[in-house]
Structure formats: structure tokens, C-alpha cells
Amino acid sequence: MIWRTNYLSEIALLVTENQMSALARYAKEDFPNESCALLLGNLVNNEYRVKMTKRMENMAHSKYSFNMDPDELMKAYQWSSANGLNVIGVYHSHLVGSNPSNTDLTFMKINPVIWLIYDVSSSTYNAFLLVQDTLEEIRIEVSKD
């Protein structure tokens, strides 16, 4: 596994201030457990453009992991495609640190979308994408709503 954090790729995650504050609010409400959500939107020219966030229940109810309900997940995928959107990212929170855990890395291989991780302790975000076997840190561009 190679870790790359100098934004070599042209890929960017485009989110709005409102979306970011909604995600932080989910983390606050689910605290101290990990919070999780889907990022719905479209991929346009290497830009992952988030149109909305879909809050998901963390079935694990754990401080150290998250687990989405398969039925809720399937419904979210169906709703997205019916509305011209794709699941372009997975969001979850960590109590401390915003790097993917080993478990996260395993699931990133299965689900190769943007992984946005919020560090509750520092209120900061990092986004990652697993490209082949390289973990790329993805630039986050936050715009006004």
C-alpha cells in the first residue's frame, strides 16, 4: 500500500459549506459513536460534485467502526439512480484522526468511491480515494451554498 498525500491527481471533491456543516452535525449527534452518511452527486471531469448528503444509521453503534444497514443502503442506491445521482462518496467520523483505519482500507477496496473522514477531535476533514493499490488524498473544495 502506497500512501500519497501531495495531491498528485487532478481529482477533487466539491462540497458546499452547508453540506460540510451537516456532516459535522451528524458526527456531533452520533457522538461518541462513529457517524456515517453517503455523498450523492455526480462525477464530472475528475470532479466529484456532491449534490446532497444522505445520513445513514451506524448499525455498529461503535466508537471505532461503522456499518451501514444493507437494506437502507440498497434503498439509497435505488433512490439515487432514480434521481439522476450516484453514490460518489462514503462519509464517516472518527473520534481522533482522519486517516483510514485498516478496516476502512479493506472496505475502500470493495467500495472504490471517495472516502471522506471527519476527525471530531480537531473538526477537520480528509478525503481519500484508493486507486489501484495507491491511497490518494483528494483535494476538498468547499464552496458557498
Q: Which is nearer to Zn ion, 47 or 119 (CB)?
A: 119
Question: By CB under 5 A, what part of segment 72-101 binds Zn ion?
Answer: 101
Neighbour tally for 26: CB within 10 Å: 21
Closest CA to 66 of 44, 94, 87, 46: 94
67 binds Zn ion per the rule CB under 5 A = no
Q: Which is nearer to Zn ion, 42 or 101 (CB)?
A: 101
Alpha-carbon dihedral angle through residues 52, 57, 112, 87, given to the nearest 10 degrees: -30
DSSP states along 49-65? EEEEEEEE--TT--SS-
137 binds Zn ion per the rule CB under 5 A = no
Question: By CB under 5 A, what part of segment 9-38 binds Zn ion?
Answer: none
Give min distance, CB of 30 to Zn ion, in A.
13
104 binds Zn ion per the rule CB under 5 A = yes
The footprint of Zn ion (CB under 5 A) covers 101, 104
